[in-house]
Amino acid sequence: MVILIAVGAGVGAVARYALTTWGKVWWPGQPLATVVINVTGALLAGVITGLMLPAAWAVVLLTGFCGGYTTFSTMMVDAMILLRKRDWWGWLWYFLGSSVLGIVAVIIGMTVGMGMH
């Protein structure tokens, strides 16, 4: 089981890296790729939870893939960078927007997942 979780985490981390790299091209100097990653990760986690998969699959996908894909620590660093720049509005939109969108994404994902179950 641990190996499957590690593989899932590795795949998630590579997906996060790819989207982060893409985001730096499209939104230079802005942490929008992190928002996209965390919100889509929350959506996926909601779908997985709503599907009520067997425990082993849920652990591999949630702890493994979603854990490797989403990035709370990067979100916090990006928020601190915005604060250091004294970009108060940017910080407010980034921090609160990420949190609210993440919660909404989980709710939508769970609804979709339960509908697929």
Model confidence pLDDT, tens digit, residues 30-81: 999 999 999 999 999 999 999 999 999 999 999 999 999 999 999 999 999 9
Per the annotation, binding residues are 67, 70
pLDDT (tens digit per residue) in 71-87 = 999 999 999 999 999 99
Question: Cα torsion for 67, 73, 74, 78, to the nearest 10°?
Answer: 150
Per the annotation, binding residues for Na(+) are 67, 70
Question: Is 68 within 8 Å of 13 (Cβ atoms)?
Answer: yes
Question: Is 72 within 8 Å of 35 (Cβ atoms)?
Answer: no
Q: Give the pLDDT confidence score for residue 25 in this predicted structure.
A: 96
